[in-house]
Amino acid sequence: MSSRTARRLRGCATASTRCRWRRTGRAWPVPEAGAGVEVEAEVSAACRALAQRLGLGEVRPRVIGRFSNIVLALEPTPWVARVATGTAGPRAEPAWARREIALAQALQAGGAPVGAPAPGTLAGPHREAGWRITLWRGLHLRPQPPEARQAGRALAACHAVLATLPAALVPGLAVPEPWALLDEARRLLATAPSGPATAALPGDVRADLLARLDTLACALRAHPAPLQWLHGDAQVNNVRALQADPAASVWLDWEDACRGPLEWDLAGLVGAGRIFGGPEQAWAEAALAGWREQGPPIDAALLDACIEARALFVVAWTAWLGPDLPGRRERLAVRLAWLRRRGQPGAAAAAFIPAASPRRP
């Protein structure tokens, strides 16, 4: 990564790119999603260099997605590169990418409707010019969300395969603790940021959120629901239909893969809809109905607690990334207001823990 880009990222608090400088314990800066053209140019250069090193020849990287990762089609090859940007600070360790690739490979082998990584070691993760890059098979996807019930059924199909996978999925990697994303949320909330995030989450609000998260996490960990591998971020932006077959939905972006009960993924599916309402909720509830057609019984109280825990997780990430991109501050405010209306979980958080899960004989 060039010194020019590094200087630009350091000074970006007033730049129109609205990227932010992050120290990750490594020697590289991490721009958030929405980084400017210079950052995208450096990412493209890294992809060209990686393609040469891997024997893929000359490629023309074309940005096709700007989210928590920058996604580039490596034309004319069939591969798509995902370059970690926004999430790379808290997830600097390559274990995250190794786990994502292994899970996607296992899902593909099991016939689940997922985006497939490149074969074998070509998938990565790779390191080039300071960027972490994984390679995936390109898909022709429709830009809008798929039909909701079909998306829910596709998620249930993924869950069925995930339930068969061992906890020790990746050789040489420690098995992640159940509810690891709650631990990540706590670390993010406990890290006092600077800049716009400080105003969005002042110290007293942050302390209240940490207390709420601790109470919920303790109760959730005591719940007897069976644990399995999950998508981790099973929401509308991570599922799309194929251009050639609009009835076929595929689930993408398994970076948040974790171990927990099914209700965590279902909270991702319906949580934002229940907080924001409107068309967002209509799609989410229809997707949940589709999931129910194939999935096992759901613990409604556990789902409700997971929706609150996921709201805290999203708030923590929003604060870390910075709430200054269009629409992000407004959605953060709505989530905080929703949490305030629910009140403190307190002793009531333990009340939803049953003697046994409805999925446990």
Contact between 126 and 133 (Cβ < 8 Å): yes
Residue 5 pLDDT more than 80?
no
285 vs 28 pLDDT, higher one:
285
How far apart are alpha carbons 169 and 231 in whole angstroms? Answer: 14
Confidence of residue 139 (pLDDT cuts 50, 70, 90): very high
Task: Please name which of 280, 260, 267 lies closest in space to residue 314, comparing C-alpha atoms.
Answer: 267
- The reported pLDDT for the residue numbered 84 is 83
Lowest mean pLDDT among 16-30, 67-81, 199-213, 251-265: 16-30
Residue 283 pLDDT more than 80?
yes
How far apart are alpha carbons 211 and 218 in whole angstroms? Answer: 11
Q: What is the pLDDT of residues 169-206, one digit of tens each?
A: 988 888 989 999 999 999 999 885 555 556 678 888 99
Task: Please name which of 229, 216, 234 lies closest in space to residue 260, comparing C-alpha atoms.
Answer: 229
Lowest mean pLDDT among 4-18, 152-166, 254-268, 290-304: 4-18
Burial bucket for residue 114 (CB in 10 Å: 0-12, 13-18, 19+): buried
Q: Does domain 148-352 have CATH number 3.40.50.10490?
A: no
- The reported pLDDT for the residue numbered 122 is 97
How far apart are alpha carbons 7 and 31 in whole angstroms? Answer: 12
Q: Mean pLDDT of all residues in the chain?
A: 85
Q: What is the pLDDT of residues 206-260, one digit of tens each?
A: 999 999 999 999 999 999 999 999 999 999 999 999 999 999 999 999 999 999 9
Residue 317 pLDDT more than 70?
yes
273 vs 319 pLDDT, higher one:
273
Place of tokens 């990762």: 69
